[in-house]
Amino acid sequence: MSEAIQRESLWRRWILKPITTQLAQGLEPMKITLAIAFGVTLGLFPLLGFPTLVTLAVGVPLKLNQPVLQAFREVTFPLQLSTILLFIRGGEWLFGLPHTVLSITGMTSQFFAAPGRFMADYGLLGLYAVVVWALIAPVLFALIYFSALPLVRRLSGRLTHARHAT
């Protein structure tokens, strides 16, 4: 391959491309922004493996744009990993529980050795983390939606202008 062909940046591939593709197909900026806000907010759901199911459960009935929704859920994964502990600690604080010592290796080995025991030991912590996420989610959703809407509208305007200029 020629050196003139540059690799597509992750920003362009994971953020801009899903949005511009859907805008080019005529989707309204508001609907794309809804998918972005739901994708990020639901992508932070504090139980590993569940954000995909949650985004489908919310996205299908609301007729959210699945490519944008799932792209933003996927992009949020590293942030989800870094916020799980924050949601757990928030749950401990909210429910007045003592601080639980957590070890990834210990929890992983316990999960695979005795899933039932793992759920008995850590299930309530997960539930408390979900409660904290549910309290924060509406505010997070609104912040993302109202921040992203002008940006998506501007991108839509640029695409429309570029189409008419050719």
pLDDT tens string 65-97: 998 999 999 999 999 999 999 999 999 999 999
Average pLDDT over residues 91-111: 90
- Is the model's pLDDT at 159 over the cut of 90? no
Percent of the chain with pLDDT over 70: 95
- With b meaning 16 or more CB within 10 Å and e meaning fewer, what string describes 90-117? bbbeeeeeeeeeeeeeeeeeeeeeeeee
**Mean pLDDT rounded to a whole number for the chain:** 89
One-letter amino acid of 149: L
Q: What is the dihedral of CA 117, 118, 120, 123, to 10 degrees?
A: -160
Give residues with Cβ within 8 angstroms of 23, minimum separation 6. Answer: 29, 32, 152, 155, 156, 159
Q: What is the pLDDT of residues 4-58, one digit of tens each?
A: 455 677 777 778 888 888 888 888 999 999 999 999 999 999 999 999 999 999 9
Alpha helices in 25-65 (DSSP H): 29-43, 50-59
**C-alpha–C-alpha distance, residues 85 and 100, integer Å:** 11
Q: Give residue 133's pLDDT.
A: 98
Spell out the residues 6+ positions from residue 122 whose beta carbon is closer than 8 angstroms to its own: 107
Which residues, including other chains, have CB under 8 Å from residue 21's CB and lie 6 or more apart?
67
Identify which has the larger pLDDT, 2 or 144: 144
pLDDT above 70: residue 166: no
Q: Which amino acid is at 54?
A: V
Residue-range domain boundaries for the chain = 10-165
The pLDDT of residue 6: 59
